[in-house]
Every structure is written in C-alpha cells, then in structure tokens.
Amino acid sequence: MAVGVFDSGLGGLTVHQAIAARLPDLPLVYLGDNAHAPYGVRTADDIFDLTCRGVERLWAEGCDLVILACNTASAAALKRMQETWLADDKRVLGVFVPMIEALTERRWGDNSPPRQVAVNNVALFATPATVASRAFQRELAFRAVGVDVEAQPCGGVVDAIEMGDEMLAEALVTSHVEALLRRMPHPEAAILGCTHYPLMERAFQRALGPQVKVYSQAGLVAESLADYLTRRPQFLGSGAGGRYLTTGDPARVSGKATQFLRRPIPFEAA
C-alpha cells in the first residue's frame, strides 16, 4: 500500500518532494492530471468530477490514503467528496489544513472560539477557482478573528508553469503582486495558495519584499502527513517504490518536471 499524491499537473510535485524528504521510507504514487490542467478556471462540478476520477485511479494503485496536493481541488471538491462520495475505508486529505494550522498556531481539532493571531493583514495568492470558493477565508474565520485577507486570483501563472515558461511565470507573478499591493499596501504574511506557486516562491518574495513572511505549503503538508500517519498507522504500507503517472504526454511532462525540479522525473501514462 502506498500513499497517493494527486494534482492537476506539476504543482503537486512540490508536495511530493517534501513528503519524500520527510518520510523517505514511505512509498508514494504521484498522479498529475496534465491533460486537463489547469483546474483553476474550471467549474466546481468539473473539478469535482476530475478529482474523483484521479483519486479512483490512485485507489487502483493501492493508495487508500490520497493527498490532494492541489488547492483548487481541495477548495472546490474535497468537502463534497468527504460528505457524499468517499468510501469508509479510504481517506482523502487536502492542503488547506496545515496552512491554517500554521497561520493560527492551533491544531485542527481545537474547537475553542476564534481568537486573535499574530498577523492581521494576509495576502492570498491563488487560482481564480480557489479565490472564488472563499474556502481559505471560511476556514480561517472559524479559528481567528481580526484577520484581513486580500485575495488575488493569479490567472495564467499555472499555465506558464505547465508550459515551462519561467520568464512568463515570473512576469505574471510580479504583475499579480503589484495588483494586490495596490489594495493592501502592507501585508504581514502572504499565502501561496496553489502548490504550483512554490516553484515561483523567489519571484513572489522578491515582488513582496523581505518584510513579508511567505507561507509555502509543501513542508507544512509533509509534517502534517507525518503526524497523521503516526496517529493512523493502518495507512502505512510496504508498497512498491515511487511512481509518477500522468494523464498527459509522459515524455513532455517528464521534461517539464525535470526542468523545474532540476532532477529527472520519469512519468508513465496513467
């Protein structure tokens, strides 16, 4: 049995890489739905259907626990999946929880009333679908008071990353950051609310300035998964080594993944 990592494309590789570093003996199967990327401009129903299809493919690989390493899928599909679709012996986890825990400095199971937290002005950079869902603001409001969140939909960034055009991606990041700063001139923290965005983290930090703390999800998700598996060891297994699957063209996806992560990533057809 392995743990599955699902994303609409290449972005989830940042999470996969962090999990592999934190849990080197954990077998992982990665699935990128590159044929249908990006998810961030799709309808909620479309995202739900595609995400369910991807999770089912990972179940077929023996992954009873699947991480949705995609903020758009986590925002638009996860709650509906857990309430109406998920089998009792399977688990699907998203990437919002670790970020909210880090920002509010409280565990997910802490149901005490919302309280003041260290930061008051937060910039959220995410796909249009994630921004439209308001899932981040909704979950944050359950746990914190007095936090002003300014969300910037970052159209085009995922497309540029998936195409391997780093110069275009950097230019788009700069443009989106400038647009947000016109509305919130002095954010204290910035959330990179898409797992593609850590590939552009230096560009975000450069545009925001050194005074803004940038929260990137990969390490937080890996640490949260390690804790989850400690509490639920039944999802640990001794499956095969890591595999990388894609609904797109394996050769093209392998090339783009290798370009961004600076190491060979051999994808197979899903």
Full-model pTM: 0.85
Extents of the domains making up the chain: 3-95+218-269, 97-216
Q: Which residue has the higher pLDDT, 199 or 244?
A: 244
State the Cα–Cα distance between residues 134 and 128, nearest whole angstrom. Answer: 10
- Catalytic residue, from 52, 63, 70, 154: name it: 70
Crossing angle of helices 96-104 and 217-231, in 10° steps, is 100
pLDDT in tens, 77-94: 998 999 999 988 899 999
CA pair distance 244, 270, nearest whole angstrom: 9
Q: Respond yes or no: is residue 154 known to be catalytic.
A: no
Tell me, which fold does domain 3-95+218-269 have in CATH?
A: Rossmann fold (3.40.50)
Instruction: Reply yes or no on whether the pLDDT at 136 is more than 60.
Output: yes
- 247 within 8 A of 35, measured Cβ to Cβ: yes
Active site residue 63: no
The average confidence (pLDDT) of the chain is 91
Query: Tens digits of per-residue pLDDT, 38-51?
Result: 898 899 999 999 99
- pLDDT of the residue at 241: 60
Which run of H or E residues covers position 136? helix 135-141
| 28 contacts 5 by C-beta, under 8 angstroms | yes
The CATH classification of domain 97-216, taken from the options 3.40.50.720, 3.40.50.1860, 3.40.30.10, 3.40.50.300: 3.40.50.1860
Query: Catalytic residue among 52, 63, 154, 194, which?
Result: 194
Share of the chain above pLDDT 90, in %: 59
3 vs 19: CA distance, rounded Å: 10
